[in-house]
Structures are given as C-alpha cells and as structure tokens.
C-alpha cells in the first residue's frame, strides 16, 4: 500500500544518511518511468534510482532529485524496499540528500527499491524500481585498470571492496571488446586477475565483481580501453 499524502511523515522510521563515492555502474530500472499526472503542488518522481550493498544488512541508495520539487522545497523521501514482488516495511528519510543508507535488511536476499519525494504539500509519485542488489554481498570494486600482459591477455587490477561482514571468496574479471574481439572472463581468488584468450589487435574494457557467501556484489565501472 502506498503511503497516503495525508499520512503524518513523522510516524515513519527515519534512516540516517551516509556519503560515499561508490556507486553502481547503472541504475538497472525494471520498468519505464511513470507518466502519471502529478497533482498540483506535489514533487515529481525521483530519477535514476540505484542501490548497492553497504555492509551487513545495509543498502546504499543513490538517485537524482525530482525534476520538479512542486510548490515547496523537498524536505524528505520515502523508500519502499521489495524482495521479489513482496513489499517490505516503508522507510522514511528525513533529509533532502540524494545518497542515503537503508538498514534493517536481510543478508543474502535480492532487494529492489522505489522512492518518492515529500514536500509541504505531501508525498509525490514513486520512482521506477531500482535494479536488484544482494544485501550483504561485497561492495563495488574500484579503480579497475587493464594492461596488456602478453599476447591475447590482460592483467586486471582493482581496489578490493568492503566484504560487508562476510569474507570475499572470489573475484570475476570480465573483458569485452568494442570492435569484434572475443569476450572472456576469469574467476580468481586474489587481485590482480589475468584474463587470457582475447583477440590480438582488438580493443577491450574490463569490469570486476566480488563474491562472498551471501552473493555477488555490483559490477564495477569499466577500465579504460586498451588494445591487446
């Protein structure tokens, strides 16, 4: 059930925010943006919502503020988590910041989220749902660098992410070509990872994910393009 516009905002649970530069590669929304007409005075829907693991039982959400704040400044947001199609307890964020943490989730479960903005006129429409992320999985590998290490191979190094309280068991480097080379991936237990079997003379970018006992974390940003 959606939070009614007239419901007292203070009755909701307030979740504290936390800043971070780590961000999922893409929003991965699962449905098209809403075309619902927004009632006069309310903010429009937040945009480009995405989520990433951020420790045990915690997710970090990132989004863009609504294109229109409505008749007054945005003062808060309301978040609805989902496990599959099952709606979970609504969370309220007493802040206008667009990066926030949501705690009290279940490790090992894949969550998606929707978010709505609140101003003095009430609660606006919800955003498209975020892509799925596994709570308690490792965070996002950072600073991925791919360098040629021999004929048809790349050495992929990266900054190891946080393990969210469960030891990382493996990493996966996935290298894809922009000009017709064969895509390859390699699992490894340590940094760096050498990916072999690539097509000589072709250009590649590589991404990395980390896995623990709870699942696989989000995809990193791709490395800079490099010729093999």
* Percent residues over pLDDT 70 in the chain: 84
- Distance between CA atoms of residues 6 and 13, nearest Å: 16
- Distance between CA atoms of residues 25 and 223, nearest Å: 12
The predicted model scores a pTM of 0.77
DSSP 8-class letter at 88: -
Q: Say if 9-134 and 142-227 have the same CATH topology.
A: yes
Q: Quick one: pLDDT band at residue 13, thresholds 50, 70, 90?
A: very low
- Residue 181, helix vs strand vs coil: coil
Instruction: Taking residues 116-120, report their average pLDDT.
Output: 98
More confident residue, 160 or 17: 160
Tell me: cis bond preceding 31? Omega within 30 of 0 counts.
no
Q: Above 90 in pLDDT, residue 10?
A: no
Instruction: Taking residues 33-54, report their average pLDDT.
Output: 85
Strands (E) in 38-188, as ranges, are 47-53, 59-64, 76-83, 86-87, 91-93, 99-102, 110-119, 122-123, 133-134, 142-150, 153-159, 168-177, 184-188
- Distance between CA atoms of residues 133 and 82, nearest Å: 11
Say if residues 32 and 57 touch (Cβ distance below 8 Å): no
pLDDT in tens, 66-92: 999 999 999 999 999 999 999 999 999
Q: Above 80 in pLDDT, residue 60?
A: yes
Q: Quick one: pLDDT band at residue 12, thresholds 50, 70, 90?
A: very low
Instruction: Taking residues 155-161, report their average pLDDT.
Output: 97
CATH topology of domain 9-134: Immunoglobulin-like (2.60.40)
Q: Above 50 in pLDDT, residue 14?
A: no
| pLDDT for position 39 | 78
| pLDDT for position 24 | 61
Per-range mean pLDDT, top range of 5-14, 36-45, 61-70:
61-70
CB atoms within 10 A of CB 5: 14
Half-sphere exposure of 128 (CA within 13 A, CB side): 17
- Distance between CA atoms of residues 146 and 48, nearest Å: 29
| pLDDT for position 36 | 60
Domain residues of the chain, as ranges? Answer: 9-134, 142-227
Query: What is the CATH architecture assignment of 142-227?
Result: Sandwich (2.60)
Q: Above 50 in pLDDT, residue 135?
A: yes
- Distance between CA atoms of residues 134 and 107, nearest Å: 7
Instruction: Taking residues 100-104, report their average pLDDT.
Output: 96
């Amino acid at each position: 059930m959606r939070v009614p516009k007239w419901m007292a905002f203070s009755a909701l649970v307030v979740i504290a925010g936390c800043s971070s530069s780590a961000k999922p590669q893409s929003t991965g929304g699962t449905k098209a943006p809403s075309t619902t007409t927004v009632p006069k005075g309310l903010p429009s829907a937040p945009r480009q919502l995405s989520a990433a693991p951020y420790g045990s039982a915690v997710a970090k959400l990132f989004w863009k503020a609504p294109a229109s704040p409505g008749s007054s400044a945005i003062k808060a947001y309301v978040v609805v988590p989902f496990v599959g199609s099952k709606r979970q307890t609504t969370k309220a964020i007493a802040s206008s910041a667009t990066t926030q943490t949501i705690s009290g989730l279940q490790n090992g479960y894949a969550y998606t989220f929707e978010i709505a903005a609140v101003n003095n006129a009430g609660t606006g429409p919800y955003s498209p749902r975020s892509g799925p992320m596994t709570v308690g999985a490792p965070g996002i590998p950072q600073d991925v660098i791919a360098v040629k290490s021999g004929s048809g191979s790349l050495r992929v190094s990266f900054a190891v992410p946080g393990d969210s309280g469960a030891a990382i068991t493996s990493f996966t480097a996935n290298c894809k070509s922009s000009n017709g080379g064969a895509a390859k991936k390699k699992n490894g237990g340590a940094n760096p990872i050498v990916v072999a079997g690539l097509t000589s003379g072709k250009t590649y970018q590589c991404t990395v994910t980390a896995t623990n006992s709870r699942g696989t974390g989000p995809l990193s940003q791709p490395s800079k393009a490099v010729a093999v």
